[in-house]
Amino acid sequence: MFTHPLWAWRTGTFALASGWPRWMLAAAFIIGVAVIAATLWRNRPLGAAKLATIGVLQAALLALLLGMLWRPVLHVERVRDRENVLAIAIDTSGSMAYDDMVDGDGARSRLQRAAAALDEDALAALQRSFEVRLFSFAGKAESLPTLQAMPPPGAQTRIGDSLIQLLQTAGSVPLAGIVLMTDGAENGETLSEEQLAAIASYGVPVHTVGVGAEKIPADLELEQVRVAQVAPAGATVTASVRVRHDAGGESRLRVYDQEKLLAAREIVLPASSSVSTHTIEFPAGDPGTHDLRFALDGLEGEPDLINNSRAHVLNVPAARRRILYVEGEPRWEYKFLRRAIEPERSLRLTSAVRTTPNKYFRQGVSSGTELPDGFPSDLAELFSYDALIIGSFDSASLSTQQHQMLRQFVDRRGGSVLMLAGRNGLSAGGWDRTALAQTLPTQLPQRQPQSFIQRVALARPTLYATESPITRLHVDPARNAELWQTLPRLADFQALGRLKPGAIVLLEAGVERGATPLLVWQRFGQGATYLLGTASTLRWQLSTEPADQRHELFWRQLAHALADGAPPRASLTSERSVYNDERQVHLEAQLRNARFEPIDGAQVELLVAPERDEPYSVAMQPSQSGEGRYVASFDAPATGLYRIDMTARTPEGELETATAYVRRNDGLLEHYGVRQNRPVLERIASVTGGRYWKLTDLDQLAAAIPYSKAGIVERQTLDLWNLPIVFLVLLALKLSEWLLRLRWGRL
């Protein structure tokens, strides 16, 4: 009926080829409508409705006849037959060996179904218009002589790199398009927005053909594990895991240290979502390297259990984090706070309590020369600590220089400061007018000697507290809320002032007239500051049973939050702790001096010790970003655990060291992300001017690709006036008018 192919209509542009001006067409139509109206006016007894119907039919007939006289055409660009190259790239990565069992045949892989779809009629139809060249790709594109000569499955899918490699041939041959047959399981990180823009710049359309099921109800996948690479000894580590599932159900999540079970919990997989996130807590254990494995129990009949687990390397350093606690007067809160934190083996609490105006009682010092005046007098001494707790300590006890040092401790050092309520604490101690006040999460009220008052209040966690390890007394949220609700009431309170925009309230004090912030924190510069508006948490210990550890647990978790985030002087980090099917390990080191200023010009060397091979050395080079950063990459051909020791000699002759661990695995990457990633394929087709196709629609490719406007094309003008559908409409219009007149008896 329409004579020309559907894709000509979709890509062509409409025009009138008679050469007559369009105003003449409009004028002729207006005159014709006027004649029709005059003719119908003489038949007024027929009625307005019937006359309007006849008028519309006659006007439509007139418009169609005039349009045919002006010769409508369709301008299209079509590739010249057999003068262009069409590249068909077939994904031969490991995920294409997966069997979705979507057709009831459990013996055909995705790759076999893709080859079968090409081998039937689609390939022959394409060869009538193009010189078809076959390619396979996984890590890179390679020429494929026949569909039967498929290479073995590749260990990684790098779609972006393979497309760039194919498009580079566009300069030497007339490339009309690329047909990309893949499941879209890109895991080589080669499809960034920059790389997609580079692919689109070649002007060659990429038609993507999706292979594989978009949902696999019988499969669970542990998609991601988010957990720290470094944790203090004896601490409780929280891991966040993301599970992909296409059906609801239940499973069990376990954490192993090699073969030792550390933790397990039942998880519920909601049917309303295909991805769910869960948390699990486990002990960090003793200092050393912990080769962790997170595993999900498989579903009944699950075909692939490899993607149910993820590896992770956790480093537990032997060094203890240092916390300095300064108090302006002996008080019970100090005693119980210290008693709670002191047993923590990964923390070292050094404290100085002023007993008289010129005398301090020191505990936890490494020598008699540490803190002779109760507070550090230079930056290097202050920066040797990771966190600082300031109790009922008057700001006037410190010099202007020491106040500036406190601000730099947070901003430059990256340490944390916790300020406690007290008779001389917070605004009662004049801290609202110090340099440190700029870093605090609230605008402290002006100094009021009576701001620290005896007032009963109940500590209540906020919504933010449900996500914070500081206020987690139990892993179950309902049980955690109950434990907070049953804590003894506090006996005193101090106003913290107006919250700043970046402040996060973890605890509120429930008082007679509502609630007011009790524990608040915010990030500032490289570090963070905390405010606690009470000095009576000791009641949580005194008014409960001796076995009740809620007071100790809260203070230990708060102490870890203060100290664990402070960066060391020398650090060595890797992009990730586990490299699956990737041989290149990338590392970055950062060096700072005692005043935490970046060290440039150091000689930095790595000693790489594989699990089963001999150690070897790798030199680190200064990073382009500067700031005391150094980078290096090394090849890790063998699987196993790698220990990397960094040794840096500074221009001043000082020696800095750091250690990192990574694991290298093989044959795992292609077992993750096995579902067809249709959004990625549609994005590739969209930015390049191509189209996404289902494997079952492959037979339509031969009709669509010739109109892609790439390669050697020719411009065609297709007449539209002589289409069968036009004459059929003319006949239908006149026949409709005749039948109506016949029915009305007014021929």
Report the alpha-carbon distance of residue 580 to residue 597 in Å, rounded: 36
The torsion defined by the Cα of 400, 402, 404 and 405, in degrees rounded to 10, comes to: 170
Residue 145 has pLDDT above 80, yes or no: yes
pLDDT band at 67 (very low <50, low <70, confident <90, very high): confident
pLDDT (0 to 100) of residue 629:
94
Q: E-strand spans in 194-284?
A: 206-210, 220-226, 236-245, 249-257, 260-269, 275-283
What mean pLDDT do residues 515-540 have?
94
| Same domain flag for 294 and 412 | no
Q: What is the DSSP string of 525-584?
A: TTEEEEEE--S-TTHHHHTS-TT--HHHHHHHHHHHHHHTTSPPSEEEEES-SEEES--E
340-393 confidence digits (pLDDT tens): 999 988 899 999 999 988 899 999 998 888 898 889 999 999 999 999 999 999
616-619, strands of its sheet edge to edge: 578-580, 655-665, 640-649, 603-609, 616-619
pLDDT bin (cut points 50, 70, 90) of residue 101 is low
**Contact 182/150 with Cβ under 8 angstroms?**
no
Within a domain: 42: yes
Q: pLDDT for 591-625, tens place per residue?
A: 999 999 999 999 999 999 999 899 999 999 999 88
For the chain, give the mean pLDDT.
89
Question: 683 lies in a domain?
Answer: yes
Domain count, the chain: 5
**Confidence check: pLDDT of 261 > 80:** yes
Neighbour-count burial for 410-422, b at 16+ CB within 10 Å, e otherwise: bbbbbbbbbbbbb
Per-residue pLDDT at 449: 64
Q: Are residue 691 and residue 547 in the same domain, yes or no?
A: no
Whether the CB-CB separation of 183 and 210 falls below 8 Å is answered with: yes
Whether 401 and 521 share a structural domain = yes
CA distance 449 to 430: 9
- The CA distance from 149 to 127, in Å, is 19
Whether 702 and 647 share a structural domain:
no
Where a domain ends, among 547, 563, 579?
563
CATH of the domain at 157: 3.40.50.410
Residue 667: its pLDDT value, please? 84
**What mean pLDDT comes out for the span 690-698?**
88
* Same domain membership, residue 125 and residue 23: no
Alpha helix stretches (DSSP H) within 14-158: 22-41, 48-69, 110-117, 123-127
**CA angle, 728 as apex, 725 and 734 as ends, to 5°?**
145
Give domain status of residue 696, yes or no.
yes
In a domain, 307, yes or no: no
pLDDT digits (tens, 9 = 90+) for 671-689: 898 899 999 999 999 999 8
Structural domain including 147 reads 85-213+676-711
Q: Indicate whether 323 pLDDT > 70.
A: yes
Answer yes or no: is 486 within a domain.
yes
Say whether pLDDT at 254 is over 60.
yes
> How far apart (Å, rounded) are the C-alpha atoms in residues 41 and 37?
6
- The CATH number of whichever domain residue 536 belongs to comes to 3.40.50.880
Residue 6 has pLDDT above 80, yes or no: no
Other C-beta atoms lying within 10 Å of the C-beta of residue 612: 8
Domain shared by 438 and 475, yes or no: yes
**CA proximity to 529, closest of 447, 450, 426, 460:** 426
**Amino acid (1-letter code) at residue 392:** S
Which pLDDT value is given to residue 194?
A: 92
State the pLDDT confidence band at 106, using cuts at 50, 70 and 90.
Answer: low
470 domain-assigned: yes
Residue at 10: amino acid letter: R
The helix/strand/coil state of 211 is coil
Closest CA to 165 of 152, 178, 181: 178
CA atoms within 13 A on the CB side of 406: 25
Q: Which carries the bigger pLDDT value, residue 404 or residue 651?
A: 404
Reduced 3-state DSSP string for 346-370: CEEEEEEEEEECCEEEEECCCCCCC
- 554 and 586 both lie in a single domain: no
pLDDT at residue number 602: 92
- Of 643, 670, 697, the last residue of a domain is 670
**Do 506 and 593 fall into the same domain?**
no
Amino acid at 81: D
User: How far is it, in rounded angstroms, from Cα 644 to Cα 604?
Assistant: 12
- Residue 260 and residue 164 share a domain: no
Query: Which percentage of the chain shows pLDDT scores above 90?
Result: 51
3-state secondary structure of 114: helix
H-helix segments, 576-626: none
Residue 464 and residue 475: Cα distance in Å, rounded? 15
Check: CB of residue 114 under 8 Å from CB of residue 88. Answer: no
Give the SS3 label for residue 176. strand
Q: Can you tell me whether residue 487 is helix, strand or coil?
A: coil
- Residue 731 is assigned to a structural domain of this protein: yes
Burial 488-512 (b: 16+ CB within 10 A, else e): bebbbbbbbbeeeeebbbbbbbbee
397-438 pLDDT, tens digit per residue, is 999 999 999 999 999 999 999 999 999 999 999 999 999 999
* Residue 315 domain-assigned (yes or no): no
Q: Are residues 616 and 555 in the same domain?
A: no
- pLDDT value at position 399? 94
Band of pLDDT at residue 746, cut at 50, 70 and 90: low
Q: With contact defined as beta carbons under 8 Å apart, do 207 and 180 qualify?
A: yes
Residue 522 near residue 528, CB atoms below 8 Å? yes
Rounded distance, CA 305 to CA 674, Å?
12
Give this prediction's pTM. 0.76
* pLDDT for 297 beyond 90: yes
- Domain end (from 563, 596, 617): 563
pLDDT at 537: 94
Q: Residue 7: pLDDT band by 50, 70, 90 thresholds?
A: low
Claim to verify: residue 372 and residue 423 sit in the same structural domain? yes
Q: Looking at residue 581, what is its pLDDT?
A: 83
Q: 580 and 612: one domain?
A: yes
Q: How confident is the model at residue 102 (pLDDT cuts 50, 70, 90)?
A: low
Question: Would the pLDDT of 105 be above 60?
Answer: no
